[in-house]
Amino acid sequence: MRIGNGFDVHALVAGRKLIIGGVEIPHETGLAGHSDADVLTHAVMDALLGAAGLGDIGRHFPDDDPAYFNIDSLLLLKQVMNQLKQHGLMVEYIDAVIMAQRPKLAPYVDAMQQRLAETMGISESRLNLKATTTEKLGFVGREEGIAAQAVTLLKETVTAKAVQE
Ligand SMILES: Nc1ccn([C@@H]2O[C@H](COP(=O)(O)O)[C@@H](O)[C@H]2O)c(=O)n1
Ligand SMILES: C[C@@]1(CO)OP(=O)(O)OP(=O)(O)OC[C@H]1O
């Protein structure tokens, strides 16, 4: 088993879409970034890459590369899953929390879970998503940004074990 954690923050600004976990959420502000700024998907990717010993998303998808301008982060997540497969790694479990003062995310959590699980090719039972406010404290509480944190366990497939031995 291998453990990984990922953390990401994006600023809330006017004139951008709010996309979290691949789901577009109606809101008066959205997340700023070079990509679609899907803060949850970024945290999940960083957790997966960390557990695989493959660095971080900035190393794989540089934020000055025009190829990633406004890109759908789910496409990047698919690429991360391909990397895991090549290294003989499978997702055992992912648990993640989104920190947002507003909007209320509970109505969208099931849809995010479906989108992420489908993109990763894993059962929804291997993924748990949560949301919390920060009780109006800090940059999240002032609605200046949204943060997300993910923890994952990866297991080695039989092929990977054979290569190691
Ligand atoms: N943006 C958010 C934040 C929280 N929730 C849900 O509300 C519950 C209580 O949040 P507290 O920060 O007051 O602990 C939390 O467990 C979430 O279910 C939400 O939907 N959207
Ligand atoms: C995926 C990338 C690609 O530019 O997305 P960004 O929107 O720049 O977001 P950030 O989390 O700051 O860095 C990760 C980048 O690799």
Residue-range domains of the chain with CATH: 2-164 (3.30.1330.50)
Mutate to test the pocket of ligand 2, among 31, 61, 149 (most ligand atoms within 8 A of CB): 61
94 is in an annotated binding site: no
95 is in an annotated binding site: no
Give the Cα separation of 67 and 33 in Å (integer). Answer: 14
| pLDDT tens digit sequence for 18-72 | 999 999 999 999 999 999 999 999 999 999 999 999 999 999 999 999 999 999 9
| Partners of 12 in the β-ladder | 31
pLDDT tops 90 at residue 164:
no
- Residue 36's CB is within 10 A of a number of other CB atoms, namely 27
Contact between 99 and 134 under an 8 Å Cβ cutoff? The reply is: yes
Q: Whose CA is nearest to atom 14 of ligand 2?
A: 58
- In short, whether 133's Cβ falls inside 6 Å of ligand 1 is yes
The amino acid occupying position 131 is A
